[in-house]
Every structure is written in C-alpha cells, then in structure tokens.
Structure 1
Amino acid sequence: MMNPIDQNIIGRRSIKKFKPDPIDTEEIIDLLNVARWAPNHTLNEPWRFQLYTGAGKEKFVQAFLDAMTQKDGTIPQTALNKAQYFRSIPVHVVAIMPVDPRQRRWDEDFGAISSLLQNFQLAAWERGIGMIWRSNDWIYNPVFRNAIGIAPAEKIVATMMIGYPQHVPEQGQRTDIRNKLTIIDK
C-alpha cells in the first residue's frame, strides 16, 4: 500500500497544456517557500528566481523572440508559434543559480537547486497545479540571458511553465530499478 508521498511522486506528470486560469502569485511564493527546504550543502541556498505572470509574461516572451531573431531580422514561424504558446501559459518561473568555478561547489549547488525544483513540482502537484521543467537551447542564448537580466556568473537551470492542467498525460513506462542497481554486499 502506497502512502500519500509515494502516490504524489508516482502520480506527478509534466504538463504541457494548461487552462488559462490565473494562479495567484502568493501561491507560487508559498510553494517556493515549501520547496526551499531542499537539502543544500552549508545551507548556502544557491538559487534565485524570476516570476513572470500577467502582463509581465510579455517580457519573457519578448526575450525569447529576440533570441530567436535571425540575422536578417526575421523570426521563424516556429518561434512565433512558441511565443503564442508561452503567452497562454499562466506563469513562468526562471530558476537561476550562481556559477562557481570550483567543480564540487557547482555540483552541490546544481544538486540543491534541482532538489528544490522537484520539491516545487511535487508541492504544486498536490495542490492541483502542474508544470513542466524546460531547459531549451535558447536559455543559453546571450540575447535571452541579457534581456532578462542574467549575470555572466549565473546559470539558468530551468524555465518552469506553470498552470492548472488542461490535460494530464498517461503514466509513461519506467525501468525497474533492479535493472539499474548493483548491490555490493561482500
């Protein structure tokens, strides 16, 4: 018999189709405050966030379009279509971490913010809010990064696209962990 935490982990889905219903900014802040209890070495909290909602989403969308603009000044139709899709999503959260030149610190910070983002997804799912964690190529584009104020010493870990699910995908297959586990007992 599964407990509620197990059920929430197994039941969570990445959502790509959202209802147009707005989500209160305070609810997103509350969810991030829950998520911040992720493990992080020395409690350095290696994260910051940008939340785009309402009319503020247009800054996110315009940064994306600027990054997609070709040398001749045109924007591919696929990018224009994606911009319309981005406009339809109620909330975008950009998750940002500092870039530390020490590999161990970088690894620990990336692990910490990734744990926070999973907590965020699970806490939101429990409240009926869905999201998808995106790390598309354009988040590395200097035009996009500059447009939203990402410093050279920062990394965008994810753009979280958030809303109430319009469609919840079926559960995909996962490999039994026994096929990925080596037990050393002697």
Structure 2
Amino acid sequence: MKHLSLAELIRERRSIRKCNSTAVEQELVVELLHRAARLQPIVEAGSWRVVYAGTPEARKRLVDCMLQQVSQSKLGKLIPGKLLDVFKKRVTDIPAHVIVMSNAGQDRLTNDRNYAAACEMMQSLQLLGWERGLGMLWDTESMIQNEGFFKGIGLREHERFVGILHIGYYDKVPRSRKRTPAEQKWTVLRGQAT
C-alpha cells in the first residue's frame, strides 16, 4: 500500500461494511492498539479497555449477545428467522471485533475525558488499520445497547460501552460520501449577549 500523508489518510479512509474472509491476526490488532494508545496525549491509565472477539467461537458469542435482547422482545419475535440468520452470518463472517469500554469516572469531567480518550483511540486504530489494508466499521447500534449485551461482553460496574469496531480486510473501497462543508458547522460567538 502506498504511503499517505495524514491528511490523505483521513480523507481516504472509509467505513467498511463488507470484509473478505482473510484472517486478521490478533497480534496485528494488539500492535495497532499499542500504536493507537501511544498517539494519545497523556490520559489516566485504565481510562478505557477492549475485549477482542477474533475466533469463530468468540464471534458467535458476540452475535448471540448482540441479538439476545432483540430476539426476546415483542418486535424481535416478528423478525423473520431468515433475517436474523443473515445478520448472524454477517457478523460472524467478519474476522475480528474490538469492543471498547471507557471507565465511567467519578465525576462528569473525568467520565467525558475517558469516553473521549476511548473514541480517540478508536479513530486512531481505524486510521492505523487503514494504512495496513484493514477496514473497520464503528458500531454503536441502539438495538445492542441493553443489559443483556453489556453482561455478555463483560461490561464492568463503572464502565461505559463506547462501541464495537468490526475489523477485516476488504476487496473494494467504497466511494466517498458527500461531506458537510465545515462552514455549515461554523458559528461565531459575538462579544455581546443577545
């Protein structure tokens, strides 16, 4: 893969929803996690942690945790079994998953900083992975955010679920989507109160 500047890397990285079957070595994920952690400014040790699901058994357990609450709900009972099977296959076919949790902290500021550190690490991990030909999708679907899922992934007391990075090699890079110009997100604070 060609060497990209940081600006090019950020601009060219894509969310990858379709991975091929090439295995993602656990050692590579650990190396990228170490590199992503070193890119962070000094943060309190233990501000975030990850759970890795990279074996077929772990991926099956993860998808079972993801669907546990859905399949037991009234709405979930209306979902055709074939649709659930497609979802299960899609998740279990992804070679690796990194589940990220942040330490909740004892006050709002610490909680927010820890959450931001976890998000920063996830973004850095995606960029570092992209350099190595790995695609990722950051998943925070509301349907999985429930007590059954949290228990299944081992979320501890005083931790906050941040998201799952689904990781795999890809065959085709999706087209870029239209981006919102920065000017549309821009507001100038004036000197006088309104």
TM-score (norm 1): 0.88
Q: Which amino acid aligns with 1:181?
A: W
Name which of structure 1's ranges 89-98 and 53-62 shifts more when overlaid on structure 2. Answer: 53-62
CA distance in 1, matches of 2:109, 2:121: 18
Which of 121, 144, 147 is the equivalent residue of 2:149?
144
Partner of 1:100: 105
Which of 122, 129, 134 is the equivalent residue of 1:124?
129
Partner of 1:66: 68
CA distance in 1, matches of 2:116, 2:164: 16
Name which of structure 1's ranges 126-135 and 141-150 shifts more when overlaid on structure 2. Answer: 141-150
How far did residue 41 of structure 1 move?
Answer: 5.4
CA distance in 2, matches of 1:142, 1:43: 27
Q: Note closer, same or farther for the CA distance 1:150–1:75 as it changes in structure 2 (3 Å cut).
A: farther
CA distance in 2, matches of 1:177, 1:86: 34
Q: For each residue in 1:88-108, what CA deviation from the matched residue of structure 2 results, as whole angstroms up to 9, or x when unmatched?
A: 100011001111241111111
How far did residue 43 of structure 1 move?
Answer: 3.3
Structure 1, unpaired ranges of 5+: none
Which SS does the other structure have where 1:97 is aligned?
strand
RMSD across aligned C-alpha pairs, in angstroms? 2.4
Which of 76, 79, 90 is the equivalent residue of 2:79?
76
CA distance in 2, matches of 1:139, 1:154: 16
Q: How many residues align?
A: 184
Q: Is the 8 A contact 2:67 2:144 kept in 1?
A: no
Identity of aligned residues (%): 26
Q: Which amino acid aligns with 2:62?
A: F
How far did residue 83 of structure 1 move?
Answer: 1.2
Which SS does the other structure have where 2:72 is aligned?
coil
TM-score (norm 2): 0.85
Q: Note closer, same or farther for the CA distance 1:152–1:9 as it changes in structure 2 (3 Å cut).
A: same
Q: Is the 8 A contact 1:38 1:112 kept in 2?
A: no
Structure 2, unpaired ranges of 5+: none
